Amino acid sequence: MARYLTTRIFFTLFTFWVIVTLVFFLMRLAPGGPFDGDRRLPPDVEANLLAAYNLDKPIVEQYVDYLVMISHGDLGPSFKQKDFSVNELVRAGLPVSLTVGGLALIIALSSGIALGVRAGLDTGSRIDTVVMGSANLGLAVPSIVLAPVLLLLFGVWLGWLPAGGVGSPAHYVLPSIALALPFTAAIARLTRGSVAETRLEPHVMTAIAKGLPRSRIVLRHILPIALLPVLTYLGPAAAALLTGSVVIEQVFDLPGIGRYFVQAALNRDYTLVMGVVVVYAAFILLFNLFVDLSYKRLDPRIELR
């Protein structure tokens, strides 16, 4: 276990380094500097600017500087928003993004698993057909359609919930649901499949033969095993959830880091784009590490290597 943990952590750090390196060199490959505007800057002004942002050094030196900076948790200054560092912008946006993402994850997990278990225990029933039918539909509707339609329906026409921005807890309801729906569908499908399979395993048969109550069989004997594929799915889902939140923040006008990312990408604010990708990657990697470590909790038969 200790060895598994060490290799996993090492691998996570290695992946993080690969991402940072990739992002750094991609940005430096960009044709044209960050200060190439419509107006040509006087040479000495430009030289001063480059020096101020460390862009006049050899690229290897810049790279080492950047790694050192990142390892201190410093993402550097924003190229376009002159008075802000990337850290400040990320710190301002992250709570909003994490709230929406976290809520969406909770909604997707709880409702997806509940629906999937219900359908999986009763395959072929009417409930099963309805759940699977809507899950397939949910997977076909992209979030770029779903989010604006929900906004129009509940935010504008019915006026039940705020249509955008932040301020009260109610502002988070629509964005979280819009973000969660495709994942709910995917998790329901996955859970249903594996519950339907696990239900027939010998240890479940034994539990039934012993006459255990149904709730105990489902919660203690079926669910832990049936949830393994859901756990595997959570890693990539976390990445997709973060990516999805970029659109959700755009549609619902939430000041999260996803929106900073799009704005920065549109006006070529290199350091901010880099910073947000690095932050996203760190979150995804940490989440994956956590997922990897929780396998054994669910199924003691699994050997971690």
Footprint on this chain of another protein (rule: CB under 8 A): 11, 14-15, 18-19, 22-23, 26-27, 29-31, 136, 139-145, 148-149, 152, 156, 182-183, 185-186, 189-190, 229, 232-233, 235-237, 239-240, 242-244, 246-247, 250-251, 261-262, 265-266, 268, 270, 273, 276-277, 280-281, 284-285, 288
Give whichever of 222 and 278 is closer to another protein, judged by the CB atom: 278
Give whichever of 32 and 73 is closer to another protein, judged by the CB atom: 32
State the nearest-atom distance from the C-beta of 197 to another protein, in Å. 10
State the nearest-atom distance from the C-beta of 211 to another protein, in Å. 32
State the nearest-atom distance from the C-beta of 300 to another protein, in Å. 18
Residue 150 CB contacts under 8 Å (≥ 6 apart), including other chains: 174, 177, 178
Give whichever of 172 and 183 is closer to another protein, judged by the CB atom: 183
Give whichever of 165 and 236 is closer to another protein, judged by the CB atom: 236
Q: Alpha helices, DSSP H only, in 211-269?
A: 214-216, 223-226, 228-251, 257-266
Query: What CA dihedral angle connects 246, 242, 94 and 5, to 10 degrees?
Result: -160
Nearest-angstrom CA–CA distance, 246 and 275: 15
Residue 253 CB contacts under 8 Å (≥ 6 apart), including other chains: 164, 165
Give whichever of 21 and 48 is closer to another protein, judged by the CB atom: 21
State the nearest-atom distance from the C-beta of 82 to another protein, in Å. 19
In one letter, which amino acid is 81?
Q
Nearest-angstrom CA–CA distance, 55 and 86: 17
Using the Cα atoms of residue 282, residue 286, residue 289 and residue 295 in order, give the sign of their dihedral.
negative
Give whichever of 66 and 183 is closer to another protein, judged by the CB atom: 183
Give whichever of 27 and 127 is closer to another protein, judged by the CB atom: 27
Cβ-contact 89, 76 below 8 angstroms: no
Nearest-angstrom CA–CA distance, 207 and 161: 46
Residue 85, strand partner residues:
77
State the nearest-atom distance from the C-beta of 148 to another protein, in Å. 4
For residue 114 the two structure tokens come to 């509940």
State the nearest-atom distance from the C-beta of 210 to another protein, in Å. 29
DSSP 85: B
State the nearest-atom distance from the C-beta of 91 to another protein, in Å. 19
